[in-house]
Copies of this chain bind each other. A is one copy, B any other.
Amino acid sequence: MRPEKDHERDMEIMVAEAPVADFRRAAVDLHKLLEPSAIAVIGASEDTKKVGGEIVANLKLGGFTGQVFPVNPRSREICNYPCFSSVLDIPVAAELAVVAVNAPQVPAVIRQCGEAGIPLAVVLSSGFSEAGKPGAVLQDELNRAIAESGVRVVGPNCIGLMNVGRRMFCGFGPGFRNYALATGPVAMVTQSGGFGFSVVGLCNHQNLRFSKIISTGNECDVSTADIIDHILDDDEIRVIVAYIEGVKDGRRLLEVGEKALERGKPILCWKVGNSNVARAAVASHTANLSAPYELFKAAFASSGFIEIREIEDLVDVARGFLGGKIPKGRRVAVVTTSGGSGVLMADRCDEAQLTLPPPTPSLLDRISAMLPPHSAVANPIDLTAQVGNDAGRFNRVVKVFAEDPAYDQVLVRYGAVQSPNAPAWAEELASIARNTEKPLLVAWSRVPDRSSQALIILEKNSIPWFVTPGRAVTAAGALADFSSRRQVLSRSRRAESTAFKKIHLNLPPAAGSLGEGASKRIVRAYGIPTVEEKLLSLAEIGELKKSPFQFPVVMKVESPHIPHKTEAGAVITGIRSLSELKKGAQKIVASAQEYRSDAAIEGVLLQQTCLGTELILGAFVDECFGPVVVLGLGGIYAEILKDVTRRFAPISETSARDMILELKAAPIFKGYRRMPPLDIDALAVAISRLSYLIVHHGSRIREIDINPLFVGSAGNGVVAADALVILNAASAPGAHRMD
Q: Indicate which residue in B311, B337, B643, B665 contacts A468 across the interface (CB closer than 8 Å).
A: B311
A484 to chain B, nearest CB (A): 19
Of the listed stretches A373-381, A651-659, A686-694, name the one at the interface; the rest are far from the partner chain.
Answer: A373-381
Q: Please state if A471 and B310 are interface contacts (CB–CB under 8 Å).
A: yes
Is A344 engaged at the interface, CB distance under 8 Å to the other chain?
yes
Q: Please state if B311 and A272 are interface contacts (CB–CB under 8 Å).
A: no
Is A420 engaged at the interface, CB distance under 8 Å to the other chain?
no
Q: Which B residue's beta carbon lies closest to that of A635?
A: B637
**Contact string against B for A residues 240-276, beta-carbon threshold 8 Å, 1 for contact and 0 otherwise:** 0001010000000000000000000000001011111
Is A467 engaged at the interface, CB distance under 8 Å to the other chain?
yes
Q: Please state if A343 and B245 are interface contacts (CB–CB under 8 Å).
A: yes
For A574, list chain B residues within 8 Å (CB).
Answer: 574
Count of chain copies: 2
Most buried by B among A243, A312, A341, A347: A347
For A380, list chain B residues within 8 Å (CB).
Answer: 281
Q: In the bound complex, how far is the Cα of B633 from the Cα of A637, in angstroms? A: 10
Given A637-B641, A674-B567: A346 touches B277 (CB 8 Å cut-off): yes
Q: Which B residue's beta carbon lies closest to that of A172?
A: B385
Q: Please state if A447 and B673 are interface contacts (CB–CB under 8 Å).
A: no
Is A382 engaged at the interface, CB distance under 8 Å to the other chain?
yes
Given A340-B194, A567-B673: A310 touches B468 (CB 8 Å cut-off): yes
Q: Which B residue's beta carbon lies closest to that of A351?
A: B275
Is A549 engaged at the interface, CB distance under 8 Å to the other chain?
no
Given A201-B446, A340-B191, A640-B667: A347 touches B273 (CB 8 Å cut-off): yes
Is A493 engaged at the interface, CB distance under 8 Å to the other chain?
no
Give residues 198-256 of A contacting B (CB, 8 Å): 198, 201-202, 204-205, 243, 245
For A445, list chain B residues within 8 Å (CB).
Answer: 195, 198, 202
Q: In the bound complex, how far is the Cα of B672 from the Cα of A643, in angstroms? A: 17
Q: Which B residue's beta carbon lies closest to that of A448?
A: B205
A574 to chain B, nearest CB (A): 8
Give residues 626-642 of A contacting B (CB, 8 Å): 633, 636-637, 640-642
Number of A positions contacting B (CB below 8 A): 84
Q: Indicate which residue in B195, B356, B636 contacts A340 across the interface (CB closer than 8 Å).
A: B195
Q: Which B residue's beta carbon lies closest to that of A293?
A: B347
For A205, list chain B residues within 8 Å (CB).
Answer: 447, 449
Is A278 engaged at the interface, CB distance under 8 Å to the other chain?
yes
A634 to chain B, nearest CB (A): 11
Q: Please state if A350 and B276 are interface contacts (CB–CB under 8 Å).
A: yes
Given A192-B338, A641-B643: A275 touches B347 (CB 8 Å cut-off): yes
For A285, list chain B residues within 8 Å (CB).
Answer: 339-340, 342-343, 382
Q: Indicate which residue in B195, B202, B374 contacts A467 across the interface (CB closer than 8 Å).
A: B202
Is A612 engaged at the interface, CB distance under 8 Å to the other chain?
no
For A245, list chain B residues within 8 Å (CB).
Answer: 340, 343
**Contact string against B for A residues 457-498, beta-carbon threshold 8 Å, 1 for contact and 0 otherwise:** 000000000011011000000000000000000000000000
Q: Which B residue's beta carbon lies closest to that of A415?
A: B194
Q: Please state if A274 and B340 are interface contacts (CB–CB under 8 Å).
A: no
Q: Please state if B447 and A340 are interface contacts (CB–CB under 8 Å).
A: no
Q: In the bound complex, how far is the Cα of B376 from the Cα of A192, in angstroms? A: 17
For A447, list chain B residues within 8 Å (CB).
Answer: 201-202, 204-205
Is A173 engaged at the interface, CB distance under 8 Å to the other chain?
yes
A609 to chain B, nearest CB (A): 12
Q: Please state if A281 and B467 are interface contacts (CB–CB under 8 Å).
A: no
For A531, list chain B residues within 8 Å (CB).
Answer: none
Is A432 engaged at the interface, CB distance under 8 Å to the other chain?
no
Q: In the bound complex, how far is the Cα of B498 from the Cα of A642, in angstroms? A: 37
Is A668 engaged at the interface, CB distance under 8 Å to the other chain?
yes
For A729, list chain B residues within 8 Å (CB).
Answer: none
Is A418 engaged at the interface, CB distance under 8 Å to the other chain?
yes
Given A285-B382, A385-B194: A346 touches B275 (CB 8 Å cut-off): yes
Is A132 engaged at the interface, CB distance under 8 Å to the other chain?
yes
For A196, list chain B residues within 8 Å (CB).
Answer: 340
For A32, list chain B residues within 8 Å (CB).
Answer: none
A252 to chain B, nearest CB (A): 22
For A376, list chain B residues within 8 Å (CB).
Answer: 284
Q: Indicate which residue in B277, B337, B343, B640 contacts A273 across the interface (CB closer than 8 Å).
A: B343
A164 to chain B, nearest CB (A): 17
Is A189 engaged at the interface, CB distance under 8 Å to the other chain?
no
Give residues 300-345 of A contacting B (CB, 8 Å): 309-312, 337-344
A738 to chain B, nearest CB (A): 31
Is A405 engaged at the interface, CB distance under 8 Å to the other chain?
no
For A2, list chain B residues within 8 Å (CB).
Answer: none
Q: Which B residue's beta carbon lies closest to that of A290?
A: B343
Q: Which B residue's beta carbon lies closest to that of A377?
A: B284
Q: Indicate which residue in B282, B348, B378, B667 contacts A343 across the interface (CB closer than 8 Å).
A: B282
Is A280 engaged at the interface, CB distance under 8 Å to the other chain?
yes
Is A349 engaged at the interface, CB distance under 8 Å to the other chain?
yes
Q: In the bound complex, how far is the Cα of B270 from the Cα of A560, in angstroms? A: 57
For A278, list chain B residues within 8 Å (CB).
Answer: 343-344, 346-347, 350
Is A596 engaged at the interface, CB distance under 8 Å to the other chain?
no
For A132, list chain B residues within 8 Å (CB).
Answer: 374
Q: Which B residue's beta carbon lies closest to that of A566?
A: B674
For A576, list chain B residues within 8 Å (CB).
Answer: 576
Q: In the bound complex, how far is the Cα of B231 from the Cα of A212, in angstroms? A: 51
A662 to chain B, nearest CB (A): 14
For A337, list chain B residues within 8 Å (CB).
Answer: 194
Is A131 engaged at the interface, CB distance under 8 Å to the other chain?
yes
Given contacts A192-B341, A281-B342, A637-B637, 8 further A-B contacts (CB under 8 A): A192-B338, A202-B468, A272-B343, A273-B343, A277-B350, A309-B348, A310-B470, A311-B467
Top-9 shortest CB links A-B: A192-B340, A195-B340, A275-B350, A285-B339, A278-B346, A194-B338, A198-B445, A284-B376, A278-B347
30 contacts between A and B (CB under 8 A): A132-B374, A190-B340, A192-B338, A194-B338, A195-B341, A201-B447, A202-B447, A245-B343, A272-B340, A273-B343, A273-B347, A275-B346, A275-B350, A276-B350, A278-B344, A278-B346, A278-B347, A281-B382, A285-B339, A285-B342, A285-B343, A310-B470, A567-B674, A574-B574, A576-B576, A636-B668, A640-B664, A641-B641, A641-B664, A641-B665
Chain A interface residues (CB < 8 Å from chain B): 131-132, 173-174, 190-196, 198, 201-202, 204-205, 243, 245, 270, 272-278, 280-282, 284-286, 309-312, 337-344, 346-351, 356, 374, 376, 378, 380, 382, 385, 415, 418, 445-447, 449, 467-468, 470-471, 567, 574, 576, 633, 636-637, 640-643, 664-665, 667-668, 672-674
